A = this chain, B = another copy of it.
Amino acid sequence: MRPTVNDIAKAAGVSLATVDRVLNARSGVTEKTVQRVNAAIDQLGYVRDVTAANLARQRRYRLAFVLPEAPELFVATLREALSEAGRSSAADRTEIRTLSFPAGNPHALVRTLRTLNAGNTDGVAIFAPETPHVRDAIARLKSDGVPIVALVSDLPSTGRDHFVGIDNIAGGRTAGFLMGKFHGKSGGSVMVLVSSMQARDNVERRLGFDQVMAESFPEIEVLPSLESHDDEEITARVVSEVLDARPDLTGIYSVGHGSRALVEVLRTHHRARQLTIVAHELTSVTREALRSGVIDAVVSQDVGHVVRSALRVLRAKSDGVGIVPAQERIRIEIVVRENLS
């Protein structure tokens, strides 16, 4: 039987209240008594029952997730993971609110952020691009004492408390490694399709990709980035053009969160099968494309882990306690046809 506060109160010859005071480092206890209690604590090997503590404390965490209203399927999977987490969050005394803003509309985002304050929110997780407006809105929240974590794409300039997501440079490196290894040794060129060079995660991935290609696969030519802005028409046109113009093309790296248009084009293009395609994020589209052999590899992050990590971190920050960094590291996952779920 684990020792309880009662046991250590008895052992130290003090009352429950006093034990609680030293346990929670509250003032108003003689140094002498503190010593006695602490002695009893580690003599009996006491560890506090967190669930009982939370019960008594009546602690609730009101957390807000701010996500773009974007066409990319990835955001949808993130939303799904969030509502999944919401179902079991009652057990953690956590209330999750999901706020949306139209993608690419910083003003709407700022308006959304304005509705949040220390009085109604214990922590905010944000998946948004890093613009000046956003930076200011976050600064206000932070100075109001609300913990902030950046989701998927980092917001370093905002002074966010933490970033939850993969190391995107390493993610790009991983994509590059797979591209090079799958490619064979024949030379050729690789097309790089980004969603937007405004998005920090896209830029970092491209950087990592270029590093590895230059270091380890110099015989492959990496073409300049093409921005699709997640527009299906643009993507279709651009990809077709390059496929026609570059008969030496042997691979395509899709950097952004969405690959629907790319997959669409490839599905009907006669050269698709000879190309090595590497994309990011596992969604219904990339999943199906892996299965049918259109895409060769996906570099992904587990949205469930992302959401749960954000929740843990926000609760910890809100309590002013530390986190275990190793536990919050989001893995860079590689998915191919054969390890698909």
Interface residues of A in 181-209 (CB under 8 A from B): 181-182, 184-185
Distance from A16 Cβ to chain B, minimum over Cβ atoms (Å): 17
Distance from A12 Cβ to chain B, minimum over Cβ atoms (Å): 21
Residues from chain B with a CB closer than 8 A to the CB of A329 are 341
Query: Which of A49, A50, A332, A338 is most buried by chain B, counting CB atoms within 10 A of its CB?
Result: A338
Q: Is A24 an interface residue (CB 8 A)?
A: no
Q: Is A257 an interface residue (CB 8 A)?
A: no
Number of interface residues of A (CB under 8 A): 35
Partner of A339, one of B51, B185, B334: B334
Shortest Cβ distance from A326 into B: residue = B341
Partner of A47, one of B2, B90, B173, B341: B90
Contact B51 A337 (CB under 8 A): no
Partner of A2, one of B90, B173, B335: B90
Distance from A53 Cβ to chain B, minimum over Cβ atoms (Å): 10
Shortest Cβ distance from A54 into B: residue = B51
Residues from chain B with a CB closer than 8 A to the CB of A337 are 177
Known A170-B338, A333-B333, A339-B170; judge A51-B91 contact (CB<8 A).
yes
Shortest Cβ distance from A177 into B: residue = B338
Contact A338 B212 (CB under 8 A): yes
Residues from chain B with a CB closer than 8 A to the CB of A212 are 338
Q: Is A107 an interface residue (CB 8 A)?
A: no
Q: Is A25 an interface residue (CB 8 A)?
A: no
Partner of A181, one of B91, B182, B299: B182
Residues from chain B with a CB closer than 8 A to the CB of A256 are none
Distance from A173 Cβ to chain B, minimum over Cβ atoms (Å): 4
Residues from chain B with a CB closer than 8 A to the CB of A335 are 334
Known A182-B181, A182-B182; judge A174-B332 contact (CB<8 A).
no
* Interface 0/1 of A323-335, CB less than 8 Å to B: 0000001011111
Distance from A190 Cβ to chain B, minimum over Cβ atoms (Å): 16
The 9 nearest A-B residue pairs measured at CB: A332-B339, A334-B334, A51-B51, A174-B338, A173-B338, A174-B339, A177-B338, A181-B182, A50-B91
